């Protein structure tokens, strides 16, 4: 057997039969690095995770850190190409910024302080504090403040496809949530918010193009919470998939769509004439369920109170109707603070509350900030804690029993599937989504702090108005598999398939087959088709199972069965076991047509 690797002789890596390996656009399966696996690792749960491992697309190196094998790298490269085309179409200019950055840069923006251990920090040999970038706002501002100084240069947009590192508390789901990942991130600079808003819409359209072109069948953009990072408007692009980490609510007609964090509904609360308030004994009944069981009432007859504390010890009591859940994102927004956590028992007692029997009734509003959800404020005759062990009150009525002037009333609850949509009134549908991209109108938050100023027509310095736009590349690959697979493997769209065509030679050992298959392989290559050629001569079942796991959209099978009739078997990946016979002399032209007719 010839040795494939020859040092310094000028010979390239050779195929098993001694022939020279051609360019990477075609490949003999016998030489492809990255085995297909019959069994998935035990820890792989989602379809994308299973097929990425079984198909030989990627391998784990550590928790949430993966190597891409040749097949995976090819898919990612195609996704990146599509992203580049669409970013270039909105006048983006590609750059490359460092992953390793001095921490002092992050102190300028203030994020060195506000971001926790998710930002990986370390020191270089001189003891200088450094960080691994989890995003590049600081770096792009560093560039822009010296390179973009005049209104004549605005608007402009810079983008890159670069590694990010986030020391995630819990990576999960294969490539869905990882610590090291490739992200396309883009940053635009504008003279005015109006200019940003108009450009933002163009990027939104570019994103829709990207996700359609990579083959996501069900990808929706939803308004999202801008978080404590601020900004006016933000959208998340969600690939709908059961394994998604985010919960979405959409109306049946799709006109309303929102992340659970901000979704609203027009649920109407039951209002009855107020009854006199009375104290009742409720031994050992703390949870809403226990109270309802003990008193024989419904969950919604109670009020649910949860105490939080901010980072500096300010206490917050949030109250919703007993059958509903508090939404912490909404609560944070309502109180204007992001640093809240459940209060401990001492903190609750210090504010006059009794753990397990907390309610706003009788508390000193100077010691604790009270936030009522509309559901609690608009319901009547609720059962609430008495701030006394083993006692509750019956018939609490907001307004009569609590002064609205001393508290905040806001939407701080999480909506549930089936509640009426705020736009259409129809029952909301709950879906799961993978966040494959997001876009933000940042405004001047970073440019002010980092001194990204330009001179306007009057020679006056002004902070640039910024937008930022991200896409998770590896996550997008995983999301495409989630939406395009069967029980045997991925069913790649032509646009990002690792190879366009999978050529199988059965009984490759037979000279006639070998000759015909080699010629067909060469002809397909010459026609510019990306071919993966299974030249291993394995049994049919074995070869087909591998082909399914790799998932190329087109498949040709050349074998002693059809060769004498001058035919080649053809099937599309999603045809199941069906196939048809094509004339060998015209098959290359037909394949070329199919490759070109598919959306790129």
Nearest to RNA of 309, 377 (CB atom): 309
Nearest to RNA of 115, 277 (CB atom): 115
Q: Specify burial of residue 80 (Cβ count, 10 A radius: 0-12, 13-18, 19+).
A: middle
Q: Specify burial of residue 401 (Cβ count, 10 A radius: 0-12, 13-18, 19+).
A: middle
Report the nearest approach of RNA to the CB of residue 24 (Å).
22
Residue 542 touching RNA (CB under 7 A): yes
Nearest to RNA of 48, 300 (CB atom): 48
421 touches 427 (CB < 8 A): yes
Token digits of residue 409: 């009333």
Site for RNA, residues 365 to 424, rule: CB under 7 A: none
Nearest to RNA of 332, 394 (CB atom): 332
Return the number of other C-beta atoms located less than 10 Å from residue 295's C-beta.
Answer: 16
Q: Are strands 489-490 and 485-486 parallel, antiparallel or unpaired?
A: antiparallel
Token digits of residue 241: 């998939």
Report the nearest approach of RNA to the CB of residue 41 (Å).
3
Residue 42 touching RNA (CB under 7 A): yes
Can you tell me which of 229, 280, 306, 410 binds RNA, judged by CB under 7 A?
229
Can you tell me which of 366, 577, 597, 599 binds RNA, judged by CB under 7 A?
577
| Cα angle for residues 136, 137, 141 (degrees, 5° grid) | 115
Q: Which residues are registered as beta bridge partners of 222?
A: 236
433 touches 235 (CB < 8 A): no
**What CA–CA distance (Å, rounded) separates 357 from 285?**
9
Residue 328 touching RNA (CB under 7 A): yes
Report the nearest approach of RNA to the CB of residue 263 (Å).
15
Can you tell me which of 221, 310, 579, 592 binds RNA, judged by CB under 7 A?
579
Residue 92 touching RNA (CB under 7 A): no
Please state, in angstroms and as integers, the Cα–Cα distance from residue 16 to each residue in 362, 448, 524, following that order: 84, 61, 20
Can you tell me which of 14, 349, 488, 523 binds RNA, judged by CB under 7 A?
488
Residue 228 touching RNA (CB under 7 A): yes
Return the number of other C-beta atoms located less than 10 Å from residue 77's C-beta.
Answer: 13
Q: What share of the chain is helix, strand, coil (3-state, %, to 5)?
A: 30, 30, 40
Site for RNA, residues 291 to 310, rule: CB under 7 A: none
Residue 120 touching RNA (CB under 7 A): no
Token digits of residue 237: 């692009």
Residue 544 touching RNA (CB under 7 A): yes
Count of chain residues binding RNA (CB under 7 A): 67
Can you tell me which of 138, 301, 373, 569 binds RNA, judged by CB under 7 A?
569
Residue 599, classed as helix, strand or coil, is: coil
Residue 507 touching RNA (CB under 7 A): yes
Residue 110 touching RNA (CB under 7 A): no
| Torsion angle (degrees, nearest 10) of CA 267, 273, 276, 278 | -30
580 touches 570 (CB < 8 A): yes
Nearest to RNA of 392, 571 (CB atom): 571
Residue 201 touching RNA (CB under 7 A): no
Residue 18 touching RNA (CB under 7 A): no
Residues of this chain that bind RNA (CB under 7 A): 1, 35-43, 45, 54, 60, 62-64, 111, 115-116, 118, 134-135, 137, 166, 168-173, 183, 185, 227-229, 245, 328, 338, 341, 438, 468, 470, 488, 506-507, 509, 537-542, 544-549, 557, 559-562, 569, 571, 577, 579
């Amino acid at each position: 057997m010839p040795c494939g690797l020859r040092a310094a002789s000028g010979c390239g890596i050779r195929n098993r039969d001694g022939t020279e390996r051609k360019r990477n656009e075609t490949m003999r399966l016998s030489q492809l690095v990255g085995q297909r696996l019959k069994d998935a690792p035990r820890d792989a749960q989602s379809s994308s995770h299973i097929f990425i491992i079984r198909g030989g697309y990627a391998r784990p190196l550590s928790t949430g850190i993966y190597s891409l094998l040749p097949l995976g790298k090819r898919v990612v490269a195609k996704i990146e190409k599509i992203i580049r085309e669409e970013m270039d179409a909105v006048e983006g200019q590609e750059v490359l910024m460092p992953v390793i950055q001095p921490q002092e840069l992050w102190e300028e923006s203030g994020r060195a302080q506000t971001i926790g251990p998710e930002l990986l920090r370390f020191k270089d040999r001189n003891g200088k504090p450094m960080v691994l970038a989890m995003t590049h706002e600081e770096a792009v501002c560093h560039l822009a403040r010296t390179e973009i100084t005049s209104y004549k240069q605005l608007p402009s947009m810079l983008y890159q496809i670069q590694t990010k590192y986030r020391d995630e508390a819990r990576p999960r789901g294969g490539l869905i949530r990882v610590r090291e990942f490739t992200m396309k991130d883009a940053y635009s600079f504008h003279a005015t918010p109006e200019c940003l808003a108009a450009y933002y819409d163009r990027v939104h359209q570019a994103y829709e193009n990207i996700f359609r072109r990579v083959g996501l069948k069900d990808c929706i953009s939803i308004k999202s919470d801008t978080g404590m990072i601020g900004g006016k408007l933000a959208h998340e692009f969600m690939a709908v998939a059961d394994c998604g980490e985010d919960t979405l609510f959409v109306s049946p007609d799709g006109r309303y769509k929102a992340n659970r964090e901000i979704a609203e509904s027009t649920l109407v609360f039951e209002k009855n004439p107020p009854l006199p308030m009375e104290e009742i004994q409720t031994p050992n009944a703390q949870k809403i369920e226990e109270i309802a069981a003990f008193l024989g009432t419904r969950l919604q007859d109670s009020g649910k109170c949860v105490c939080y504390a901010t980072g500096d010890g300010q206490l917050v009591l949030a109250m919703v109707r007993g059958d509903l859940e508090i939404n912490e994102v909404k609560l944070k927004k309502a109180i204007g603070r992001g640093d809240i956590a459940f209060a401990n028992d001492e903190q609750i007692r210090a504010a006059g509350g009794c753990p397990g029997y907390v309610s706003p009734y009788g508390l000193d509003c100077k010691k604790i900030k009270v936030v009522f959800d509309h559901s609690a404020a608009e319901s009547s005759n609720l059962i609430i804690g008495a701030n006394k062990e083993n006692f509750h009150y019956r018939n609490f009525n907001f307004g009569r029993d609590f002064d609205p002037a001393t508290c905040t009333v806001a939407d701080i609850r999480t909506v549930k599937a089936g509640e009426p949509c705020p736009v259409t009134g129809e029952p909301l549908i709950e879906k799961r989504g993978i966040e494959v991209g997001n876009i933000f109108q940042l405004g001047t938050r970073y440019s002010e702090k980092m001194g990204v100023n330009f001179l306007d027509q009057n020679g006056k310095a002004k902070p640039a108005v910024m937008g930022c736009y991200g896409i998770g590349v590896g996550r997008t690959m995983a999301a495409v598999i989630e939406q395009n697979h069967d029980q045997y493997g991925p069913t790649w769209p032509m646009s990002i398939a690792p190879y366009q065509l999978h050529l199988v030679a059965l009984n490759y050992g037979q000279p006639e087959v070998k000759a015909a298959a080699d010629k067909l392989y060469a002809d397909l290559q010459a026609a510019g088709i990306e071919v993966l050629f299974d030249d291993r001569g394995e049994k049919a079942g074995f070869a087909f199972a591998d082909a399914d796991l790799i998932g190329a959209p087109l498949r040709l099978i050349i074998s002693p069965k059809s060769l004498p009739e001058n035919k080649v078997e053809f099937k599309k990946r999603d045809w199941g076991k069906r196939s048809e016979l094509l004339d060998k002399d015209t098959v290359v032209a037909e394949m070329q047509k199919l490759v070109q007719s598919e959306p790129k």
